[in-house]
Amino acid sequence: MTSVLLKASKKRCPFLLSSFYATPGESSSMPSTKEINLQRSVEETWEPIGSDEIRKIDAYWRACNYLCAGMIYLRDNPLLKTVLRPEHFKNRLLGHWGSDPGQTFTWVHLNRAIRKHALNMIYISGPGHGAPAVISNAYLEGTYSEIYPEVSQDEEGMRNLFRAFSFPGHLGSHCTPEVPGSIHEGGELGYSLSHAFGAAFDNPDLIVSVVVGDGEAETGPMATSWHSNKFLNPVRDGAVLPILHLNGYKIANPTILARISAEELDSLFRGYGWTPYSVEGDDPQLMHKQMAQTVEQCIQDIHSIQRKARSDGSPERPRWPMIILRTPKGWTGPKEVGGHKVEGSWRAHQVPVPEVQTNPDHARILEQWMRSYKPEELFDENGTLRPELKEIAPRNGLRMSANPHANGGRLRQPLAMPDFRDYAIRVEKPGAQEVSPTEILAHFLRDVMRRNMNNFRVFSPDENASNKLEAIYAASKKTWLASFKPEDSDGGEIARDGRVMEMLSEHTLEGWFEGYVLTGRHGFFSSYEAFVHIIDSMFNQHAKWLEKSKLELGWRAPIPSINLLITSVVWRQDHNGFSHQDPGFLDLVTNKSANVTRIYLPPDANCLLSVVDHCLRSVDYVNVIVADKQPHLTYLDMKAAITHCTKGIGIWEWASNDDGGEPDVVMTSAGDIATMECLAAVALLRECFSDLKIRFVNVVDLFRLQPGSEHPHGLSDRDFDTLFTKNKPVIFNFHGYPTLIHKLAYRRANHENLHVHGYREKGNINTPLELAIRNQVDRFSLAIDVIDRVPRLGTRGAHEKERLKNQIVESINYAYAEGIDSPQIREWKWPS
Ligand SMILES: Cc1ncc(C[n+]2csc(CCOP(=O)(O)OP(=O)(O)O)c2C)c(N)n1
């Protein structure tokens, strides 16, 4: 496949393949023969767009642009029925103009293709700060008024729209969840393309158009997501049509991609496996022809790729089309303000004429600018879009602003679930037998996959095998549409029709996953604990989206939850060492709304099964599950596991000896490894002090620790005090950073007696016990802490304390001499 490079400017004829991007500093010149040979024109198949259609498309586009400007500036006089006066302006001018006209231009041309081919298409706005472009279209298509009736399609409604935009208590200035047709806010740049692919997976009839900002294209997540085309299967997936919007500037700088030569740019996207088509210019009339022609070509390419793949059933990796759209930033806006170039410069990024309230010249420029769109030709006296323009937009479900995929919960089908109890481990005695929890889970996930081969995917950054989840490959291999080698058949587990998504980019995977759930499908993501931090920010953004959608927007249907398994945990990084030790993602999660966040630390394999079953059935949450992949002791049979996980926190009677009396100390754990060490400490203490009354509490659902007023899962104070007492020492062994437990429990009556052990950022290449010792989450340190905190053991326990300290020294020496922990540590079992 080859590219088409066309430029539409007043100076040159767009249909001559003679215009190329000038290398910076040079003027455009005729291409070399070689360059011409690289190109193929769509003219062969092109049925030229008629002048009447161009006139209407242009008018529709002007209507969009008029609305965009109105949203930024006006609170009254929306149809410019009188000269603009100071009282018509908003007091505070907010919003972004620069991105809007290129995006509205794209939208109206996609509309043309949708109508022509009855396309099922959604639109993702990478530079979501260009929200006026999306909102104006949603408004003109009627969707906005259907959801927000006060924003009616008349003068009053237009006034309300302008007032609502970027106004306190109203609409944000990004493509926030409030915006119909949006599944991507675009506030934090970089994720639009991966979201687009996530939406396209398993949606064979859907085309996801996605505008990528040229600034956005400089971000790390965007850079890696161009590779998503190696994971899109044209037989069973939809298509993604990226439109790279080269408007040349970011907030205050030129963009890199707009300042490299045409050849470099073309090579870059070819190198990523795309077929780039370029549209370039500033003359609207010529640009409409070019864009219509190019969009048509892209749709034809997409259809022919899909036809071919679907007829022969064995997809080769196609070179999907993409558009490189080069237009001036702030196109059609004021050319110059106060002697400074505005259109085609970074000055167009936000509010291009900044002082309309105080500077009459600025007010005049704004009025001229808005009148240049000729609103009287676009809207009737009542402010309603004229019928001949309305008719060029798609209708009903074909409107991108009303496409059900953009409100994916409406399409959500619950997963067909196997019975998780069928995967249970038999537990005859607590703490006697070891299994890898994730290995057990893998069989369950495999069967979830088998039953849901159209709406469930598993995501991991090259780690499913490492995380001992490889049993899922029996249901489906890893998606792979790049080339194959003979050795791949020997355990490579890759296939063109695979459904397990593995690529070494946490960003791209999380973006795919979010796009997938936002369009109503389900998934499961596993990551090494330390590196889940790479998607911290994506988690933040998704949690914000969920919070808004769930609490404030009744029209958005619930979507499946994001399920994140954090494994390869901090405590078992024997050869990876310090860089792989970071349990801090949990701290981040607790910053987000209690309405959408859940954290589970199942202590063993059966609890993990129960938790994952629960999470896969849930909606509108981010569920974070922490479970290690190494063999660990099992404690609860399935019945007990279900009861324990349902309660989320509880006393383990078999590990306690305070029944019927008051405990001297409450030993508490959260996390699999933390639980084992805590139980081992209990066993040591019981050996040393037969009369010591110990209560053992395990926490699965971390938010049980917070008061009910703070989190819906929070325990009442009464329940908390019953479990933890109001005055006895509580020794809490925690999987993560100790401060998190204090943060959650600081309001509890017994907080001053809560002593939390957890990761203290002390790590290296360690044996498991030696690492635990360095961070004082080991059995000996915990037992010593109990001796220190239980007053009656203070002096009585002196000898025991010495012996425990000796064991610490001996354990470290053993680890340093042998490179492993001693057999009695490695083979420790709960004493029956
Ligand atoms: C990850 C991230 N970094 C920084 C910003 C701040 N920011 C907002 S808009 C913008 C420039 C965007 O340029 P581009 O993607 O080209 O969009 P457009 O030119 O269409 O406005 C920046 C840096 C952001 N929103 N997200």
Phi, psi for residue 711 in degrees, rounded to 5: -145, 140
CA 444 to chain centre: 25
Does residue 23 carry a pLDDT above 60?
no
pLDDT per residue as tens digits for the range 745-779: 999 999 999 999 999 999 989 999 999 999 999 99
Looking at residues 786-790, what average pLDDT do you find?
A: 97
3-class SS string, 3-33 = EEEEEEECCECCCCCCCCCCCCCCCCCCCCH
Top mutation candidate among 212, 249, 250 for ligand 1, by most atoms within 8 Å of CB: 250
Instruction: Identify residue 652 by its one-letter amino acid code.
Output: W
pLDDT of residue 20: 21
Residue nearest to atom 9 of ligand 1 (CA): 251
500 to each of 76, 229, 424, 455, 763, how far by Cα in Å? 53, 15, 24, 12, 33
Looking at residues 734-754, what average pLDDT do you find?
A: 97
Q: How far is the CA of 216 from the centre of ligand 1 (A)?
A: 6
pLDDT per residue as tens digits for the range 661-686: 899 999 999 999 999 999 999 999 99
Looking at residues 691-709, what average pLDDT do you find?
A: 97
Does residue 21 carry a pLDDT above 70?
no
Q: How far is the CA of 214 from the centre of ligand 1 (A)?
A: 9
Ligand 1 atom index nearest CA of 129: 9
pLDDT of residue 44: 47
Question: What is the pTM (predicted TM-score) of this model?
Answer: 0.94
Residue nearest to atom 16 of ligand 1 (CA): 215
| Burial class of residue 238 (count of CB atoms within 10 Å of its CB; 0-12, 13-18, 19+) | buried
- Round the average pLDDT of the chain to a whole number and report it: 93
Q: How far is the CA of 761 from the centre of ligand 1 (A)?
A: 35
Q: How far is the CA of 32 from the centre of ligand 1 (A)?
A: 35
At 315, is the pLDDT very low, low, confident or very high (cuts 50, 70, 90)? low
Instruction: Identify residue 633 by its one-letter amino acid code.
Output: L
634 to each of 612, 649, 673, how far by Cα in Å? 17, 17, 11
pLDDT of residue 576: 87
Ligand 1 atom index nearest CA of 126: 15
Does residue 381 carry a pLDDT above 60?
yes
At 166, is the pLDDT very low, low, confident or very high (cuts 50, 70, 90)? very high
- Whole-angstrom distance, CA of residue 556 vs CA of residue 538: 20
Ligand 1 atom index nearest CA of 216: 15
Q: How far is the CA of 357 from the centre of ligand 1 (A)?
A: 27
pLDDT of residue 7: 43
State what percent of residues in the chain have pLDDT above 90.
Answer: 91
Neighbour order of strands in the sheet with 206-213:
4-8, 275-281, 321-326, 239-246, 206-213, 120-125
Phi, psi for residue 597 in degrees, rounded to 5: -120, 140
Looking at residues 705-721, what average pLDDT do you find?
A: 97
Residue nearest to atom 18 of ligand 1 (CA): 99
Which residues does residue 165 pair with via DSSP β-bridges, in sequence order? 171
pLDDT per residue as tens digits for the range 331-342: 999 999 999 999
Does residue 17 carry a pLDDT above 50?
no
pLDDT of residue 471: 97
pLDDT of residue 388: 97
Q: How far is the CA of 187 from the centre of ligand 1 (A)?
A: 8
Q: Where are the alpha helices (DSSP H) in 412-556?
A: 437-451, 506-518, 536-552
User: Three-state SS for 733?
Assistant: strand
- Whole-angstrom distance, CA of residue 265 vs CA of residue 214: 12
Q: How far is the CA of 223 from the centre of ligand 1 (A)?
A: 15
Ligand 1 atom index nearest CA of 186: 25
Does residue 780 carry a pLDDT above 70?
yes
Residue nearest to atom 25 of ligand 1 (CA): 188
- Whole-angstrom distance, CA of residue 254 vs CA of residue 329: 11
Top mutation candidate among 174, 192, 216 for ligand 1, by most atoms within 8 Å of CB: 216
Q: How far is the CA of 102 from the centre of ligand 1 (A)?
A: 15
Ligand 1 atom index nearest CA of 188: 26
At 795, is the pLDDT very low, low, confident or very high (cuts 50, 70, 90)? confident
Q: Tell me if 544 sits within 8 A of 465, measured CB to CB.
A: no
Question: Element (H or E) spanning 724, and its range?
Answer: helix 717-724
Looking at residues 410-422, what average pLDDT do you find?
A: 98
Top mutation candidate among 72, 94, 104, 189 for ligand 1, by most atoms within 8 Å of CB: 189
Question: Element (H or E) spanning 617, and its range?
Answer: none
pLDDT of residue 566: 96
Q: Tell me if 440 sits within 8 A of 425, measured CB to CB.
A: yes
Ligand 1 atom index nearest CA of 214: 16
At 33, is the pLDDT very low, low, confident or very high (cuts 50, 70, 90)? very low
Q: How far is the CA of 181 from the centre of ligand 1 (A)?
A: 21
The helix-helix angle for 506-518 and 536-552 (nearest 10°) equals 10
Looking at residues 709-725, what average pLDDT do you find?
A: 97
At 794, is the pLDDT very low, low, confident or very high (cuts 50, 70, 90)? confident
Q: How far is the CA of 247 from the centre of ligand 1 (A)?
A: 12
pLDDT of residue 660: 85
Does residue 702 carry a pLDDT above 50?
yes
Looking at residues 827-832, what average pLDDT do you find?
A: 94
Looking at residues 685-689, what average pLDDT do you find?
A: 96
Ligand 1 atom index nearest CA of 249: 19
Tokens at 792, concatenated: 């009656």
Q: How far is the CA of 128 from the centre of ligand 1 (A)?
A: 9
pLDDT of residue 45: 52
Q: Which residues line ligand 1 (CB under 6 A)?
A: 96, 98-99, 127, 129-130, 187-190, 213-216, 219, 245, 247, 249-251, 255, 329, 349
Looking at residues 783-788, what average pLDDT do you find?
A: 98
pLDDT of residue 27: 31
Ligand 1 atom index nearest CA of 255: 16
Q: Tell me if 173 sits within 8 A of 431, measured CB to CB.
A: no
Q: Which of 48, 481, 56, 45 is nearest to 299 (CA)?
A: 45
Instruction: Identify residue 719 by its one-letter amino acid code.
Output: D
Does residue 34 carry a pLDDT above 60?
no
Handedness of CA 627, 631, 633, 639 (dihedral sign): positive
pLDDT of residue 14: 29
CA 595 to chain centre: 17
pLDDT per residue as tens digits for the range 241-297: 999 999 999 999 999 999 999 999 999 999 999 999 999 999 999 999 999 999 999
Q: Specify the range with the lowest mean pLDDT, choosing from 30-34, 199-203, 476-480, 525-529.
A: 30-34
Ligand 1 atom index nearest CA of 213: 15
pLDDT of residue 313: 79
Q: How far is the CA of 61 from the centre of ligand 1 (A)?
A: 23
- Whole-angstrom distance, CA of residue 74 vs CA of residue 524: 46
pLDDT per residue as tens digits for the range 611-653: 999 999 999 999 999 999 999 999 999 999 999 999 999 999 9
